[in-house]
Structure 1
Amino acid sequence: MREAGLSVGLYTSPHLEDVRERIRVDGRKISRAAVAEFVADIETYATERAADGASPTFFETVTALALREFDRQEVDVAVLEVGIGGRLDATSVVDPVASAVTAVTLEHTDVLGDTVAEIARDLAAVAPADAPLITAATDDALAGIHEEVDDVLTVGAGAGNLDGNGEGDATDNGGPDDPDVRVAYGGREGLEGAVTVETPARTVGTRLPLLGAHQARNAGVATALVEQLLDRPGLAVVSDDVPDATAALERGMRNAHWPGRFEVMGRDPLVVLDGAHNPGGCETLVEVL
């Protein structure tokens, strides 16, 4: 979206070194001055709530900071990553125009449930009111999402890859045979991965500086989200305002950077930094290695 000339706010977690990493506008971290001003503004309120035994959590507080910053910066689009689940997450105060569940693994089981199906049902609460919920989930997780949401747009490799030669699939292992958005992973080219995404509207082919077949599915989810925004009536983000959306998507993917996600820090010897911290993330890390 930034490659198309839009101003984009990004809220993610956790951070690696600096809490300001969680809140970015057009790639720039929120300023120290903005954080300090926010803390001063909410200090009395937070102290009073704490005295009543209802202090805002760290994540709730930082979410409020992010939303205020995006409002102040008048971003065209705000991208919010949930913290824990979807139903009761702090980000649920927002009514989304497009939402996605990338994948589901066992995480925060004390809050969300003991199975991927239970967790998926909770995550499905992020679905927008009048648009499909986009997901690359598979197997029981996909079934759980379908239990909660009628309108689901699926992303996956399907029964075969895009060119039909049986090579380079982003294997779904339980995904739909005929997904709405099809993806293929063409393998590594140095420290980049070749990715193709096919939607009813376009075919996007590029190289990602993020390795692994799972990143092809993530690219498919991102493409579907952007297309929902392009088609959304009444928003500033409409097709006529975004020239050559396919080229912008390809440039955006090529310039993607995600510190701590199979980040190659050195090549001789090979040193990789990855923050995998749940069963699904660890399995994916092993597959990429």
Structure 2
Amino acid sequence: MTYSEAIDYLYAQLPVFHRIGAKALKPGLDNIVKLCEYLGNPQEKFRTIHVGGTNGKGSSSHLLAAVLQSAGYKTGLYTSPHLKSFTERIRIDGFPMPDAEVADFVETHKAFIEDLKPSFFEVTVGMAFDYFARQNVDLAVIEVGLGGRLDSTNIITPLVSLITNIGWDHSDILGDTLQKIAIEKAGIIKPGVPVVVSERDPETQAVFADRAKACQSPLVFASDVYAVTDFGVREKGRLLSVTDQKGFIAGLTVGLLGTYQLKNTAGVLATLDVLQNEFELSQPAVQNGFAKVVELTGLKGRWQILQQNPTVICDTAHNEPGILNVLESLETVSYRQLHLVVGFVRDKDLSKVIRLFPKGARYYFCQPHIPRALDAEVLAEAFRAEGYAGDVFPDVNQALEAAKSRAQPADCILVTGSTYVVAELNQLDA
């Protein structure tokens, strides 16, 4: 079986969330437990960090992995979804899982997969655990796929759990209040395992406090421990000043340029504090990991500048808090005219996000090439009903080319609205 055949098989045989949405979910952890038992429980053969939250969990996972790599540890990293290649989901020291390893896993375990009938995500989680165990990683950073309590990754017992924040996303699955969503996210807190929450939020802090108390798990709200100040983008990244509770001040350059990384920084630093009990993590390793996170881990699509003159930026923000963060970052950019290329999937509550967008921008509505895509014409009508104007394109690359043809050198073009829209950008590989 070739790699292409293996990927085609997985997409054809298994329900895939990014294609069909909630129908792809398999309730409960029974399938992943059975799959991992069949594989010899590989998740028990290496140490882990578990990272959940509404926004920022991907960036935080990559930052943690980059620091661990910089400290000399063999580091696994599991994230989802991928942007360009399936193998982006499963990395060791920044290198994607080899195509041949993917093909071999599928071919070897095909009969069991067909008998179990797991979801696409469940198979990828089992594949990652198996690969990390066979490669003898020192530590693996495991990002939650959706929610937490019933997520397939939630069979690990990590050294520390990090929950970045709570916001409105997947409310049709996780709950119709922030407290209900927080309960699902808090489900990754394990008995006796320290937990870090990046941001203290009055609406949800009690959920984490109660769960941590019930599990007898030490709890830290990172925003209480670290104050992070932004000094703007420099040649090598965004320059931050970090002050801890003792008043110690340190400079930190982050290779991820969005202003929302200030919130992630506090959570990552507090998580590293917990890891210091078992791993030697020097200040140079921390600084190198933050500064070179993109090179070390291959992260794409987070406030990524694709070109200058005009400035073209893409960001995978796809929900209300994410878009708010991106628009906040946009305030730090100087431009003559803003052009916005936007596309969404069908299950997003547009009523919560449309009015966040600036009225003075020129809009280019598009859609990703997946079954869950929101038709660009429908998207345009929803925006027009709120007083926005723009043109419709069937593809993000056509929309971007139109924006570039109309933009002047001093303009800014932002591509956002869906991970899957950003994933289809041809320039992402440039």
TM-score range, shorter chain: 0.7 to 0.9
Corresponding position of 1:209: 255
Matched position secondary structure for 1:186: strand
The answer to whether 1:132 aligns with 2:194 is: yes
Higher relative CO (Cα under 8 Å, sequence separation at least 6) belongs to 2
The answer to whether 1:63 aligns with 2:125 is: yes
User: Among 291, 294, 311, which residue is 1:270 paired with?
Assistant: 311
Matched position secondary structure for 1:119: helix
Superposition deviation, residue 105 in structure 1: 1.2
Superposition deviation, residue 231 in structure 1: 0.7
**Identity, % of aligned positions:** 32
Deviation by residue 1:114-152 (Cα, 9 ceiling, x = unmatched):
122211121112124324311123231333322322332
User: Among 203, 210, 215, which residue is 1:147 paired with?
Assistant: 210
User: 1:204 touches 1:249 (CA, 8 Å); kept in 2?
Assistant: no
User: Among 163, 166, 170, which residue is 1:101 paired with?
Assistant: 163
Task: Report the structure, 1 or 2, having the larger helix content.
Answer: 2
Instruction: Provide the TM-score with structure 1 as the length reference.
Output: 0.82
User: 1:97 touches 1:128 (CA, 8 Å); kept in 2?
Assistant: no
Instruction: Provide the TM-score with structure 2 as the length reference.
Output: 0.56
Residue correspondence of structure 1 range 156-171 to structure 2 within 5 A: 156=223
Matched position secondary structure for 1:213: coil
Distance in 2, Cα, partners of 1:252 & 1:261: 16
User: 2:80 touches 2:89 (CA, 8 Å); kept in 1?
Assistant: yes
User: 2:225 touches 2:270 (CA, 8 Å); kept in 1?
Assistant: no
The answer to whether 1:85 aligns with 2:122 is: no
Corresponding position of 2:69: 2
The answer to whether 1:15 aligns with 2:77 is: no
User: 2:258 touches 2:302 (CA, 8 Å); kept in 1?
Assistant: no
Letter in 2 for 1:15: H
Corresponding position of 2:47: none
Unaligned runs of 5+ in 2: 1-67, 331-430
Distance in 1, Cα, partners of 2:249 & 2:182: 29
Residue correspondence of structure 1 range 25-40 to structure 2 within 5 A: 25-40=92-107
Superposition deviation, residue 196 in structure 1: 2.9
Matched position secondary structure for 2:150: coil
Residue correspondence of structure 1 range 208-227 to structure 2 within 5 A: 208-227=254-273
Unaligned runs of 5+ in 1: 50-54, 157-178
Which of structures 1 and 2 has the bigger CA Rg? 2
Deviation by residue 1:147-174 (Cα, 9 ceiling, x = unmatched):
3223321122xxxxxxxxxxxxxxxxxx
Matched position secondary structure for 1:40: helix
Superposition deviation, residue 261 in structure 1: 0.8
User: 1:98 touches 1:133 (CA, 8 Å); kept in 2?
Assistant: yes
The answer to whether 1:230 aligns with 2:230 is: no
User: 1:121 touches 1:147 (CA, 8 Å); kept in 2?
Assistant: no
Corresponding position of 1:250: 287
The answer to whether 1:182 aligns with 2:219 is: no
Matched position secondary structure for 2:293: coil
Q: Judging changes above 3 Å, is the alpha-carbon distance between structure 1 residues 255 and 191 closer, same or farther for their aligned structure 2 residues? A: closer
Superposition deviation, residue 74 in structure 1: 0.6
Letter in 1 for 2:306: M
User: 1:99 touches 1:133 (CA, 8 Å); kept in 2?
Assistant: yes
The answer to whether 1:261 aligns with 2:302 is: yes
Superposition deviation, residue 190 in structure 1: 4.9
Distance in 1, Cα, partners of 2:283 & 2:254: 15
User: Among 327, 343, 358, which residue is 1:286 paired with?
Assistant: 327
Distance in 1, Cα, partners of 2:293 & 2:118: 33
Corresponding position of 1:44: 111
Matched position secondary structure for 2:204: helix
The answer to whether 1:196 aligns with 2:234 is: no
Q: CA RMSD in A?
A: 1.8
Superposition deviation, residue 183 in structure 1: 2.3
Superposition deviation, residue 28 in structure 1: 0.2
Corresponding position of 1:114: 176
Corresponding position of 1:161: none
Matched position secondary structure for 1:74: coil
The total of aligned residue pairs comes to 253
